[in-house]
Amino acid sequence: MEDLNHHRIKTNGIFLHVVEKGTGPLVLLLHGFPEFWYSWRHQITFLVNHGYHVVAPDLRGYGDSDSPLSYNSYTLFHLLGDLVGIIDHFGEQQAFLVGHDWGALLAWHLSLHRPDRVKGLIAISIPYHQRNPDAKVIESFRRIYGDGLYICQFQEPGRAEKAFARYDYLTVMKKFLLITKTDNLVAPLDMEIIDYLQTPSVLPPWITEEELQVYADKFQETGFTGPLNYYRAMDMNWELYGAWQGSKISVPSKFIVGDKDIGFDTNGTREYVLGDTFKSLVPDLQVVILDGHHFIQQEKAQQVSEEILAFLHKLSVD
């Protein structure tokens, strides 16, 4: 993808690397873990060709963006400040947000705090949840899944980095990016999650060895501490978000999820997504369930691109 424009822009006290192309309404594509801008390679050109100005950043801690060492610098408020700075940099009052995984969380929460800056949002794989007022995030996860849950294992600084280092970077990417519904993100207590996850012997048709190597090469340059710091700040986010307990998202929203996403059938998520509570928190909501897994914007690239375009087009002409 050599025809893309690469910039490093100053925002919120750090420099972020962004990939940018096109003219028209601004669309921010926000990646998740463990990815960087490259996870949107299929959507970037598609949306540009349909009249949109597309910006795909490497989020704080990822890729060629700055990576503060302390997890104290990775609260949602830090990350949302980065996004407002990107929108300001391109001289726009509003942007469309498209986020996957952690990027979906950012899209939800920027829409919660700054609906004046968001024209509409598409969240992929991760729905919007209310904060549990009775228990911090990690405590809640431990009660449900135990200490073997990957999020719990990621809490201790250096632990996951040390475990990941037992494998080459390509193998780490395969273990996470190719995860399926039959996998389990809760390891036995005597195992690290990276040891527990299987390495597929055959690649699925939606990704090549060369594409996986692009991920591996980038993470070999940058390491995993920045991305893991998002998880280490989860309880800080809980502490900071008490004032927004029960808040609703008024921005027009679309949620896309794969029916075989490992998280979709976990702990009542399917029932939540299809039930009344989710829609009560996000009143202007459309839900789309596709045949696929967690990294569905890559696995079902054309379908997801068309779902994004239909939503953007509707709001662009309204």
Q: Which residues are catalytic?
A: 101, 231, 294
E strand map for 187-270: 253-258
Instruction: Give the C-alpha separation, 211 to 192, whole Å.
Output: 26
Which residue in 150, 155, 157, 158 sits closest to 175, CA to CA?
A: 150
Residue 7 phi, psi (nearest 5)? -130, 155
E strand map for 33-82: 53-57
Query: Which are the contacts of 256, defined by CB distance < 8 A and separation ≥ 6?
Result: 122, 123, 124, 125, 288, 289, 290, 296, 304, 307
Cβ contact 87:95 at 8 Å:
yes
* DSSP percent split of the chain into helix, strand, coil, nearest 5: 45, 15, 40
Instruction: Give the C-alpha separation, 230 to 241, whole Å.
Output: 16
Beta bridge partners of 124: 100, 256
Residue 290 phi, psi (nearest 5)? -110, 165
In the block, residue with structure tokens 């940099």? 89
Residue 240 phi, psi (nearest 5)? -80, -20
Residue 57 phi, psi (nearest 5)? -85, 155
Instruction: Give the C-alpha separation, 176 to 33, whole Å.
Output: 9
